Amino acid sequence: MPVVKYPRAVDPLWHEWDEKAQKCGLRHTIYAVNGDRYTGEWLDNLKHGKGTQIWKRTGAIYSGDWKFGKRDGYGSYSIPDPVTKEYKKVYTGWWKNDKKCGYGTMFYPSGECYEGEWSGRLRSGWGRMCYRDGSVYEGQWLAGQPGGQGMLCLSNDNRYEGGWKDGKKHGPGRFFYLDKGLLLEGIWVADIPKCGIMIDFCRDEAPAPIQYPIPKIELADPDAVLAEAQAMFDDSQN
């Protein structure tokens, strides 16, 4: 009985084009089952290179770099305003493994803004935060909160310079009460000054100075008192 040979099935043209797109990084658009849309470059069936993702449920948009299916590199993330439907930037900066990592700027719904370093979605490293009440913190961050050395400038120009821990003043620091012409230099624990020296500072330029100047310190060695307090503080941290 003769053997019948059937012609080999030919792949459709779109399949051949898709393979080329994956190998060459060509841009094309793919719709997910849930309605999400990605337009950009691909590699081995993964988002890779430059591309834009739109999430159907929230309307959020990410436009920037991708690496093996995840946001990685430089990019911007925006969401639509619930009333005007206009897009507002939420974050612009660097990403790694789908998380904010490196230098970037975050815009919060309250109007506050952070510019600085990130690690694993959290503010970490050096950064500058502008708060809604007009105050500004600039310095080190750890796990999303001020931690290390930093300066907080209040809306009335008073400021604190020194140590921070868990978002609170902690350790040696100086608080400049410029509205009253005073300076407190001492040691803070969880936002509370535990000991220190208060002196006049730019009293003549202060808008609301206290009625009388602070009297001269009569301690024989005030620096030694602060040094002892500092040593006690260091021991308590160990």
3-state secondary structure of 178: coil
pLDDT in tens, 46-101: 999 999 999 999 999 999 999 999 999 999 999 999 899 899 999 999 999 999 99
Q: Categorize the per-residue pLDDT at 211 as very low, low, confident or very high, splitting at 50, 70 and 90.
A: confident
DSSP 205: G
Domains and CATH numbers, the chain: 20-103 (2.20.110), 108-237 (2.20.110.10)
Cα–Cα dist 9/20, whole Å: 19
pTM: 0.79
What is the pLDDT at residue 206? Answer: 81
Residue-level pLDDT at 222:
66
What is the reported pLDDT for 231? 74
Say how far apart CA 117 and CA 70 lie, in whole Å: 20
Backbone angles phi, psi at 116, to 5 degrees: 165, -150
**Per-residue model confidence (pLDDT) at position 59:** 96
Question: Which tens digits make up the pLDDT trace of 164-206?
Answer: 999 999 999 999 999 999 999 999 999 999 988 888 888 888 8
- Would you say 207 and 182 are in contact if contact means Cβ atoms under 8 Å apart? no
- pLDDT for the residue 224: 73
The conformation of residue 177, written as its DSSP 8-state character, comes to E
What is the enclosing helix (H) or strand (E) of 145?
strand 145-153
Q: How confident is the model at residue 4 (pLDDT cuts 50, 70, 90)?
A: very low
DSSP code string of 47-109: EEEEEEEE-TTT--EEEEEEETTEEEEEEEEEEE-TTT--EEEEEEEEEETTEEEEEEEEE-T
pLDDT for residue 41 is more than 90: yes
